[in-house]
Amino acid sequence: MAAGKIRWGELEEDDGGDLDFLLPPRVVIGPDENGIKKTIEYRFDDDGNKVKVTTTTRVRKLARARLSKAAIERRSWGKFGDAAKEDAGSRLTMVSTEEILLERPRAPGSKADEPSASGDPLAMASKGGAVLMVCRTCGKKGDHWTSKCPYKDLAGPAETVDRPPTSDGPSALGASAKGSSYVPPRLRAGAPTDSGHDMRRRNDENSVRVTNLSEDTREPDLLELFRTFGPVSRVYVAVDQKTGSSRGFGFVNFVHREDAEKAISKLNGYGYDNLILRVEWATPRPN
DNA sequence: CATGAGCGC
């Protein structure tokens, strides 16, 4: 193989890895009472088009609570612990007073005080792709649905949500006195205090409109072009729903406003694919 | 020339 030549396998892997975060999350519906399960996911095809993939599968109906061999075996075990003192059958459920210590999520960069982080189910859940519930208002995963978002319909700063508890009884006071309770980033020392900047809104404000794109410019191409200025949170190319061809304009959202400014000043009037790009601030979309 | 898609438990 010629040295320096790009292998297709590598190319594809790179593209997919870069863009996965731009796609809507996978949604699994069901299975319903007929055992029909629907999976809706999104991916980029070979041409860089965003495609919606809906899979319908029938899952085997469970034959009424089938017990594994091991579970049947466990039924013959003698009772132990507190249950051994109870007379048989009087209680099916025991109430345990055993104290169970839950690990508190740590701020990135802070030291681990216990060596058991690898087995933490919370950490695993946040890493894996098993969270289907993503709030569209604040982007939080697995916590609440969009309709239940505490930031929904909130115009100004919300004292009840943002202020740390001050009168929640002795346990809360004790926890904060030890300095171990969680402090949200915007309340930490050194956090920006400008009140005009509203972080509750989805990060649509650093939105840049790109017009005069050639027909075959797709989202991956836009990302390649704009990512040099800083972290990009979203790229979008408007596509005609009927023909599937590009409508010649798109949007790029930056995490940082300064990067969006740089991109506008450097890329507006930039020749791309035989055309002169127009790059400017996007006016926020209504609705 | 031109201002985006999605909406569930």
Region of residue A116 (phi > 0: left; psi between -120 and 50: alpha; otherwise: beta)? alpha
Judged against a pLDDT cut of 50, whether residue A217 lies above it is answered with yes
Q: How far is the CA of A247 from the C1' of B1 (A)?
A: 10
Q: Which residue has the higher pLDDT, A269 or A82?
A: A269
Q: Is the CB of A42 under 7 A from strand B?
A: no
Q: What angle do CA A106, A206, A275 make, to 5 degrees?
A: 135
Q: What is the DSSP letter of A5?
A: P
Delineate the domains of chain A, giving CATH numbers in brackets: 8-58 (no CATH), 207-281 (3.30.70.330)
List pLDDT tens digits, range A105-149: 555 555 544 343 333 333 333 443 344 566 666 666 666 666 666
Judged against a pLDDT cut of 70, whether residue A190 lies above it is answered with no
Which phi and psi (to 5°) does residue A17 adopt?
Answer: -60, -40
- A211, closest nucleotide (Cα–C1'): B2
% of chain A surpassing 90 pLDDT: 25
Q: Is the CB of A27 under 7 A from strand B?
A: yes
- What residues does A234 pair with on adjacent strands? A253
Q: Is the CB of A130 under 7 A from strand B?
A: no
Q: Is the CB of A200 under 7 A from strand B?
A: no
Q: Is the CB of A148 under 7 A from strand B?
A: yes
For strand B, the positions having any atom within 7 A of a protein Cβ are: 1-9
List pLDDT tens digits, range A220-266: 999 999 999 999 999 999 999 889 899 999 999 999 999 999 999 99
E strand or H helix at A43 = strand A36-44
Q: Which two tokens stand for residue A80?
A: 């132990």
Using pLDDT thresholds of 50, 70 and 90, give the confidence band for residue A184: low
d(C-alpha A104, C-alpha A178), whole Å: 14
Q: How far is the CA of A79 from the C1' of B6 (A)?
A: 53
- A283, closest nucleotide (Cα–C1'): B3
Q: Is the CB of A274 under 7 A from strand B?
A: no
List pLDDT tens digits, range A39-65: 888 888 887 787 888 877 776 544 445
A24-48 as b/e: b if 16+ CB within 10 A: eeeeeeeeeeeeeeeeeeeebeeeb
